[in-house]
Amino acid sequence: MVHITNLKVGGVPVIAPKANLTINIPLVAKVVVNEQVMTAGGAGIAVNAIHVRTPAGVDIMVSHARAARPDRPRQAVPGRLTTRNAPA
């Protein structure tokens, strides 16, 4: 769960955001609060408290965390290195 005090996006207070609360600010940015994305073939989760994307391609994440269940094998994501297939 994400706890942010006095958060405002576009001047609007954000109180107790549910997962993946998306706020569009036209021509400025898309802001996702409490972003939760499944990872590791469904065995894990990545959470960003605030994720901002602008039309100019700027990508900002505030407070990123991720976790995976150790009892499920990880699946490699095409095009990405993992700790199991990274060069030594």
Q: Which residue did the predictor score with more confidence, 42 or 59?
A: 59
Residues 32-48 have pLDDT tens digits of 999 999 987 888 999 99
Q: Which residue did the predictor score with more confidence, 12 or 64?
A: 64
Average pLDDT over residues 54-61: 96
Q: Which residue did the predictor score with more confidence, 24 or 77?
A: 24
Q: Provide the residue ranges of all domains of the chain, joining segments of one domain with +.
A: 16-68
- What are the angstrom distances between the C-alpha of 82 and each of 7, 62, 68, 76? 34, 23, 13, 7
Average pLDDT over residues 27-32: 95
Average pLDDT over residues 69-79: 62
Q: What is the distance between the alpha carbons of residues 82 and 20, in angstroms, rounded to a whole number?
A: 26
pTM, 2 dp: 0.70
